[in-house]
Chain A
């Protein structure tokens, strides 16, 4: 096999002379033996290849549009190998940034930029902002909430540049708002324009290395002198294999994060990727108009100083130049480390930020669970959370209902009601809830009619007291009989709601429900004296018990509580949420009403435990991801 390969290579060489071209790289000798410090260049090169390969793979699936970007990334995560490939691309970037910094520092210290190698140095330094731009255009392509927040901020930085800034920003975004054009623009920059520029710079960089060799080759030969291959190669590959191992582990174990799609209800405060945290922190020290110093002047000056290093080096004696370079390095590395640490420390101690980030992780998980369950609607992934009762219910309740109603219970989210004047709706119409309603000790509490003055003094409270107050004074069997009837009524009335959470219990107790329903109609409690229940009793004096707590009942009740079916005379200030107010639209749209009702009834999709375990939880916001 190698014979064939060799003759193929010979054939190619006769025509292209590629061996002579590559000779400076292939047949280099190392005058003082192989070195570990020389491995940074090859590590960068192979990371670059890794990014190109995984990037091309992702392009097979990725679709840059506001309705499909998040969806296609989610789809990549579902394909076998897809999550891993995306993870390699994501963590490969971070490794690249680190390797780039190390390589830059090494060449700065070793004086690799000296004549005739200035162009190698200059092209390398120019690759630095390019890599930053590559990352900035790549991260928002997921079209997550965080991604859009990032590109919003980053485009503002472009926009704050003098003269052409605002126009550039508008062109980059593709208009005033982030959307389809933002994604197509970022995508073409990320996968075509920047790679072309990078290839050009990298081409000059490598061509110059072929031409001039690396500085180390000019060292006086010692007895350790040997050929580059395989002595240095094995070191290069060992380092890259370790780096790849770490990246692969991260890709396999945590994968690249996928936050909630843009447009989700809670916006966690945006943070840049961890390797930009120092710039983020730097902005804090330049408030207002001086911000441009942090975002553009200082980074620009830093690049300029780096570009001028070969010239500065010429002007100074060697020792002074070395000292200066060490000093610059210490300041820059120290500064970046300090700023990064400060930024992270600040976030770690910001309880509000951590809570917001936690909430946004939960939203992300919810969005992914819904996407896996029902697929992504043609209108895009933002519909997933927008139409989800579990996500929207608490928000709508807090906005519209919590001014009066409580929502407190074991599995309830914390929704504060400052001055509750109406019943606690947690578990409304469930057996537990109705049990409390028929309990003389509870019906007068804040959970039920304790805060509604008229209802507290009304017939329902009085009846419950009449019926059940003196049970203790009765004979044991009489008391038991009444309690059995009461429980029958509870079970039967709760079954009217047809709650999804109670489905199994309702099916198991079919007989009891039938008995209880009959008792509500005709039994001694006299329910139908005031209430209507199916074909028994009349509307008007008390709420209809037919289908009490069902989706339709609740929606109709919230839409118009003073309707004949509910509280025509005894409503204490609950607005008609679903009725048009003169010319104005109803307070709640039909969709919002449905979301509140479904949420109150706990009628939403909940993934099976096993299904969510298929993917380990996110490593979290990459702002806090530790460097590999």
Chain B
């Protein structure tokens, strides 16, 4: 190899080395959000008093908790919404049957804001995904458009508990977020 081509190769190697010194930390810095993905913890919260619920009439409640938004730490902030449905006739509190769904639409992740009492369906305003009282997708919904929902609404673990001090009956929900767009329910993260 002559001096010229040896120098040419050295130049390229040196240039590459300089680029690497910057590129490696740059990539590590840029992909940092991937490293921080595994923090979708379960949040167990009392979201509603049992007496607020009428049988067969779903109501939406906010779930709050602490949340680290990059640099800001929110001590108590709204993390999401849940739909709570009371199924029994509603006298004996201890035996109350309650179901809870995440209000996040399993199609594209919009919030399902309302329940149409007349048609008895949840409808997502974004793409008209619709679900019945049990969270199952409805075929031939009121809107007449095809239902894009890939799966039922995401049900959440729910429990009716009595407050030791006050004796009030509470609906306690284990809130989680799930990946949207999939046919199966998978925890986010």
Contact surface of A with B, Cβ cutoff 8 Å: 46, 50, 53-54, 57, 60-61, 68, 71-72, 74-75, 79-82, 84-85, 88, 227, 229-231, 233-234, 237-238, 240-241, 244, 248, 371, 374-378
Q: With a CB–CB cut-off of 8 A, which chain B residues contact A79?
A: 29, 32
Contact surface of B with A, Cβ cutoff 8 Å: 4, 7-8, 10-11, 14-15, 17-18, 21-22, 24-30, 32, 35, 68, 70-75
Contact yes or no, A237 B25, CB < 8 A: no
Q: How far apart are the CA atoms of A53 and B4 in the complex, in Å? A: 31
Measured between C-beta atoms, what is the minimum distance from A488 to chain B in Å? 37
Tell me whether A376 and B14 are in contact in the complex, defined as CB-CB below 8 angstroms, given that A80-B32, A244-B21 are known contacts: no
Contact yes or no, A237 B73, CB < 8 A: no
Q: How far apart are the CA atoms of A229 and B15 in the complex, in Å? A: 13
Q: How far apart are the CA atoms of A375 and B73 in the complex, in Å? A: 5
Q: What's the count of A-B pairs with C-beta under 8 Å?
A: 87
Closest A-chain residue to B70, C-beta based?
Answer: A75
Contact yes or no, B71 A234, CB < 8 A: no
Q: How far apart are the CA atoms of A231 and B7 in the complex, in Å? A: 7
Instruction: Provide 5 A-B residue pairs closer than 8 Å at the C-beta atoms, listed in order of the A residue.
Output: A75-B71, A79-B29, A84-B25, A230-B11, A371-B71
Contact yes or no, A68 B26, CB < 8 A: no
Cross-interface CB contact of A46 among B11, B18, B35, B72, cutoff 8 Å? B18
Contact yes or no, B70 A72, CB < 8 A: yes
Contact yes or no, B28 A378, CB < 8 A: no
Contact yes or no, B29 A68, CB < 8 A: no
The winner among A53, A82, A229, A375 for most chain B CB atoms within 10 A is: A375
Q: With a CB–CB cut-off of 8 A, which chain B residues contact A377?
A: 72-73, 75
A82-B32, A230-B4, A234-B10 are known; give 5 further A-B pairs, CB within 8 A. Answer: A50-B22, A54-B26, A75-B71, A376-B72, A376-B73
Contact yes or no, B29 A85, CB < 8 A: yes
Measured between C-beta atoms, what is the minimum distance from A569 to chain B in Å? 41
Measured between C-beta atoms, what is the minimum distance from A527 to chain B in Å? 36
Contact yes or no, A68 B72, CB < 8 A: yes
Cross-interface CB contact of B73 among A82, A248, A374, cutoff 8 Å? A374
Q: State the main secondary structure of chain A at its contact with B.
A: helix
Q: How far apart are the CA atoms of A377 and B30 in the complex, in Å? A: 25
Q: How far apart are the CA atoms of A231 and B74 in the complex, in Å? A: 58
Q: With a CB–CB cut-off of 8 A, which chain B residues contact A85?
A: 25-26, 29
Closest B-chain residue to A67, C-beta based?
Answer: B72
Closest A-chain residue to B66, C-beta based?
Answer: A375
Contact yes or no, A54 B8, CB < 8 A: no
Q: With a CB–CB cut-off of 8 A, which chain B residues contact A72?
A: 70-71
Measured between C-beta atoms, what is the minimum distance from B37 to chain A in Å? 14
Measured between C-beta atoms, what is the minimum distance from A414 to chain B in Å? 34
Contact yes or no, A233 B11, CB < 8 A: yes
Contact yes or no, A230 B8, CB < 8 A: yes
Q: How far apart are the CA atoms of A79 and B17 in the complex, in Å? A: 23
Q: With a CB–CB cut-off of 8 A, which chain B residues contact A68?
A: 71-72
Contact yes or no, A237 B15, CB < 8 A: yes
Q: How far apart are the CA atoms of A229 and B10 in the complex, in Å? A: 11
Contact yes or no, A80 B29, CB < 8 A: yes
Measured between C-beta atoms, what is the minimum distance from A525 to chain B in Å? 41
Contact yes or no, A241 B73, CB < 8 A: no
Q: With a CB–CB cut-off of 8 A, which chain A residues contact B7?
A: 230-231, 233-234
Closest A-chain residue to B14, C-beta based?
Answer: A237
Contact yes or no, A378 B18, CB < 8 A: no
Q: With a CB–CB cut-off of 8 A, which chain A residues contact B11?
A: 229-230, 233-234, 237
Contact yes or no, B28 A240, CB < 8 A: no
Q: With a CB–CB cut-off of 8 A, which chain A residues contact B27?
A: 81
Q: How far apart are the CA atoms of A53 and B22 in the complex, in Å? A: 9
Closest A-chain residue to B68, C-beta based?
Answer: A375
Q: With a CB–CB cut-off of 8 A, which chain B residues contact A75?
A: 70-71
Q: With a CB–CB cut-off of 8 A, which chain A residues contact B28?
A: 80-81
Contact yes or no, B72 A71, CB < 8 A: yes
Closest A-chain residue to B35, C-beta based?
Answer: A80
Contact yes or no, B73 A54, CB < 8 A: no
Measured between C-beta atoms, what is the minimum distance from B42 to chain A in Å? 20
Contact yes or no, B22 A54, CB < 8 A: yes
Measured between C-beta atoms, what is the minimum distance from A547 to chain B in Å? 24
Measured between C-beta atoms, what is the minimum distance from B76 to chain A in Å? 10
Q: With a CB–CB cut-off of 8 A, which chain A residues contact B26?
A: 53-54, 57, 81, 85
Contact yes or no, B71 A244, CB < 8 A: no
Contact yes or no, A57 B29, CB < 8 A: yes
Q: How far apart are the CA atoms of A322 and B4 in the complex, in Å? A: 36
Cross-interface CB contact of A57 among B4, B15, B30, B75, cutoff 8 Å? B30
Ranked nearest first, the 6 interchain pairs of A and B with the lowest CB-CB distance are: A375-B73, A81-B25, A81-B28, A81-B29, A71-B71, A75-B71
Contact yes or no, B71 A237, CB < 8 A: no
Cross-interface CB contact of B74 among A80, A227, A248, A378, cutoff 8 Å? A378
Q: With a CB–CB cut-off of 8 A, which chain A residues contact B17?
A: 241
Q: How far apart are the CA atoms of A531 and B60 in the complex, in Å? A: 57
Contact yes or no, B29 A248, CB < 8 A: no
Q: How far apart are the CA atoms of A233 and B11 in the complex, in Å? A: 7
Cross-interface CB contact of A244 among B8, B10, B18, cutoff 8 Å? B18
Q: With a CB–CB cut-off of 8 A, which chain B residues contact A74?
A: 71
Q: How far apart are the CA atoms of A72 and B71 in the complex, in Å? A: 6
Closest B-chain residue to A82, C-beta based?
Answer: B29
Q: With a CB–CB cut-off of 8 A, which chain B residues contact A71?
A: 71-72
Measured between C-beta atoms, what is the minimum distance from A63 to chain B in Å? 8
Measured between C-beta atoms, what is the minimum distance from A29 to chain B in Å? 13
Measured between C-beta atoms, what is the minimum distance from B88 to chain A in Å? 41
Closest B-chain residue to A73, C-beta based?
Answer: B71
Measured between C-beta atoms, what is the minimum distance from A35 to chain B in Å? 15
The winner among B10, B26, B71 for most chain A CB atoms within 10 A is: B71
Closest A-chain residue to B29, C-beta based?
Answer: A81
Q: With a CB–CB cut-off of 8 A, which chain A residues contact B29?
A: 57, 60, 79-82, 84-85
Measured between C-beta atoms, what is the minimum distance from A373 to chain B in Å? 10
The winner among B15, B22, B28 for most chain A CB atoms within 10 A is: B22
Q: How far apart are the CA atoms of A377 and B22 in the complex, in Å? A: 33
Contact yes or no, A234 B22, CB < 8 A: no
Q: With a CB–CB cut-off of 8 A, which chain A residues contact B70?
A: 61, 72, 75
Q: How far apart are the CA atoms of A227 and B25 in the complex, in Å? A: 35
Closest B-chain residue to A248, C-beta based?
Answer: B21
Q: How far apart are the CA atoms of A231 and B4 in the complex, in Å? A: 7
Q: How far apart are the CA atoms of A231 and B10 in the complex, in Å? A: 10
Cross-interface CB contact of A230 among B10, B72, B74, cutoff 8 Å? B10
Q: How far apart are the CA atoms of A50 and B15 in the complex, in Å? A: 13
Q: With a CB–CB cut-off of 8 A, which chain B residues contact A57?
A: 26, 29-30
Measured between C-beta atoms, what is the minimum distance from A52 to chain B in Å? 11
The winner among B18, B35, B75 for most chain A CB atoms within 10 A is: B18
Tell me whether A229 and B8 are in contact in the complex, defined as CB-CB below 8 angstroms, given that A81-B28, A377-B73 are known contacts: yes
Q: How far apart are the CA atoms of A229 and B26 in the complex, in Å? A: 29
